[in-house]
Structure 1
Amino acid sequence: MRRLINYLLIWQAAIILITVFSIPFLPLRPTFVGGQDQASVANPKPYLRNPLLFSRANFDGIHYVEIARRGYDFGQQGFFPLYPRILHLVSRVIHPPALAGSIVSLISFSVGLVFFYKLLKKDFSEKTSQLAILVLLFFPTSFFFSFVYTEGLFFLLVIASFYYARSGKWLPAIILGAVAAYTRFVGVFLFPAFVVEMWQQTPRELRTARRFISKSLPLLLIPLGLALFMQFLHRTTGDPFAFFHIQKTFAQGRSDKIILLYQVYWRYIKMVFTVNRADPLYLTICLEFLTGVLFLFTSIYSIYRHRLSYAVFNFTAFLTPTFTGTFTSLPRYVLVCFSSIIAIAEILSRLSVPKKTIYFTASAVLFVLYLALFVRGYWVS
């Protein structure tokens, strides 16, 4: 536990220092920086008063703060409601909302990291468990866990629900799963993952269709979180699938029609060779493409090497965002693909110390680069 606390303190100190040192070195892009009253208006004045805080609410963070303050407005139906509702409550006592959101995210992730370690210890050695924690913290986009984004909260809900499911404590697992589905769409994929997990935990002599169906019926409560949000969208917009249909309005190459994975890879291969390499966006495209390749490989790896329930959630959480026709935001979305994180740790555990050092050095350099870009208003994920 003490080691986890030290990891978190060093990680958070690094985020603060990188943010501070990026200010004089990178020019600000003020279009979507935190502290603004409206996401559609470029107003950097609040950000400039406190860039250390408001940089944590850039881009999507602006929307979460807006929803917490005023409720949903046009174009914000793609943001699920639990995080902004928590932010609304906490910001009544902690001001400004960007600070409240950062605290909620950091506390959520810290607790989630404890559950992750406990979950790891059920199947893996201390060496692999420690490596998995470090792989997660060193990941180039891990800073989102403590920013005004859903990543920290969603990570806690997913990991804690898996921990309780693995422990055979299905009531808290189902409740947390339903809450996760109210936080992010891919939370609904805890349902098939837990069906598999429950089947694996059921003694062979009790694996009859009638008995198992009866036993697994409570798992149907997990999609209830998504159903509640869809009901809200139907009531307010007339479209229960507005969270999906709204994607095309974000002008990031997303489609409201399903695009197959191979088409997305082909699109990115072309962009790697055609996009202007002097544009900072090229760095983001490269990160998105490398993430798509790495997590496809590790998702397949997890099918053969990890519990099937882990693999089911991991693969669906990775694959679903790609159906919009882009890897945009994928480097952030995959932070919850914990089976892939474990896979990377397992592979590293078999490598020599110099090779591990090369991996973590490269990951740390990318972490510094993409964090610096993000806090100065450049799109990363």
Structure 2
Amino acid sequence: MIPNKELLKNGLFFGIAMWLSSRLIIVIAMLLIAPSLPTPTNGIAATFSWNVFSAWDSIWYQIIATFGYGYTNEYGQSAVAFFPLFPLLIHLIMRLGLPYEVAGVLLNNLAFLAALIVLYFWVEEKYGTNAARWATATLAWCPYSVYGTVIYTEGLFLLFTTAALRAFDKQQYLSVALWGALSTATRSPGMALIPAFLFVSWKERRGIKAYLASLAVGLGVSIYSLYCQLKFGDALAFIHAQKGWRSSAGFDWQGWWYNLMLVVIGPVNPQSGQIREPLHPLLFTICIISGFLLWRFRHKLTSIKLICSFSLLNLILWLLGGDPYIKILLVFGGIYFLWISRKKIPLAAVIYGFCSFLLILNIGNTLSVERYAYGIVSLSVGFGLLLARYPRWGYAIIGFFAILIATFAIRFSQDLWLA
């Protein structure tokens, strides 16, 4: 028997505890709270069933896992836009006799649990137990970790990218090739690992094995491209199919400006072109000024008062700005945070993070960008180091996350757009 104190120090136990506690909040919100709420105007009534875990992209994975791939080279949406590993694994689990919803939820949740454990041990090896705990807690409790429970690829992608980054850090190049290739077979952003690994291989003069392992990361997408060529006569079908979701690539200036206006002057005003609700921009201005004054005179306040004050301001800003506030905070705040953390976390994780953000900012719109940013594990590593130094701030952040994770879970179960 492991003594209680030793059990609490056990990384495997901590990862499971963070996974179980955060998933419990999600399951209660989706299966117990959501079905008791009125049916939303633009959504559906949540039910006590496995169906609440399947919405939006989940439908495409069900089509692929059940019927295989289809493709039209016109501008309509096609299943070929979704990478194959996740639906393939679901299909294999379904052959055991499990329905699609059960197979998808089981796969994503187990993969997400494994990702938390891999992250914990990686960070613990480099920075110690406290940093590992906070990094794991951040990844588990971030509100977009809802996508580590529903039928999406987040759990699998986080597992493979984290394992690949850890293996590269430990110079285990066969593992780098394996986990990296699996990541690019799961989602296209896994390709961001390649320039990160190549750059670090060059900068640290790691040798030919490191270069070969870095290039081998692309095997996942290469094999899928070969499949598309053989089946549809178009090796880049998965890229061309993106036209069904976005008309062009590049930085969406208009979309980001619109999101900023939603936060600053409110949801009605940008549509009318003028300020019709002066209370919203007034409250926003008061929050910004209050935040500046709190920071300016922070040394005159106790840490508890300072944390509570900033937490209240953050809650008010979220109530004012809603999803656009979280979107801007996670993407642009994430870029800034990665920059100031660049000398503290592994170089490969830093470059991977910046390459991932570069992809996110150039997809042609602002849909789902916050979810993609959550999938950058480098941010969780950085937050682990930061919150290990300031744990009281960490408790406040996790508390705010707990509120968001419950509301996000309810929204997903009601088929309301989340990210």
The total of aligned residue pairs comes to 352
Conserved in 1, the CA contact under 8 Å of 2:116 and 2:140? no
Which position in structure 2 is the counterpart of 1:188?
Answer: 191
Deviations 1:218-238 (A, max 9, x none): 432221211222222334444
What is the 5 A alignment of 1:102-251?
102-199=105-202, 202=205, 212-213=207-208, 216-250=211-245
In structure 2, give the amino acid aligned to 1:194: F
Q: What is the CA distance between 1:28 and its match in structure 2?
A: 5.0
**Residue aligned with 1:303, SS:** coil
In structure 1, give the amino acid aligned to 2:29: I
1:16 and 2:27 matched? yes
Find the aligned partners of 2:391 and 2:157 in 1 and give their Cα distance.
34
Deviations 1:301-350 (A, max 9, x none): 23333221111111122221221232311222123312212222333333
Deviations 1:266-322 (A, max 9, x none): 342234446349xx9x73333322222221212222333322111111112222122
Q: What is the CA distance between 1:148 and its match in structure 2?
A: 1.0
What is the 5 A alignment of 1:1-381?
1-19=12-30, 20-27=32-39, 48=47, 50-51=48-49, 53-74=50-71, 75-199=78-202, 202=205, 212-213=207-208, 216-250=211-245, 254-259=246-251, 265-272=256-263, 273=265, 275-276=267-268, 283-351=322-390, 353=392, 355-381=393-419
Which position in structure 1 is the counterpart of 2:285?
Answer: none
**TM-score, scaled to structure 2:** 0.76
Change (3 A) 1:233 1:133: same
Conserved in 1, the CA contact under 8 Å of 2:19 and 2:116? no
Deviations 1:146-179 (A, max 9, x none): 2211111111111112222222211121111111
Which runs of 5 or more residues in structure 1 are unaligned? Answer: 34-43, 204-211
**Residue aligned with 1:62, SS:** helix
Larger Rg: 2
Conserved in 2, the CA contact under 8 Å of 1:145 and 1:152? yes
Conserved in 1, the CA contact under 8 Å of 2:53 and 2:413? yes
Change (3 A) 1:214 1:14: closer
Conserved in 1, the CA contact under 8 Å of 2:112 and 2:148? yes
In structure 1, give the amino acid aligned to 2:256: Y
Change (3 A) 1:312 1:26: farther
**TM-score, scaled to structure 1:** 0.83
CA RMSD of aligned residues (A): 2.7
In structure 2, give the amino acid aligned to 1:266: W
Find the aligned partners of 1:77 and 1:89 in 2 and give their Cα distance.
19
In structure 1, give the amino acid aligned to 2:79: Q
Q: Equivalent pairs: percent with the same residue?
A: 23
Conserved in 1, the CA contact under 8 Å of 2:176 and 2:213? no
Deviations 1:341-360 (A, max 9, x none): 2222333333362x333222
In structure 2, give the amino acid aligned to 1:335: Y
Structure 1 outlier segments of 4+, above 4 Å: 28-31, 199-203
Which position in structure 1 is the counterpart of 2:6?
Answer: none
Q: What is the CA distance between 1:21 and its match in structure 2?
A: 0.7
Conserved in 1, the CA contact under 8 Å of 2:196 and 2:355? no
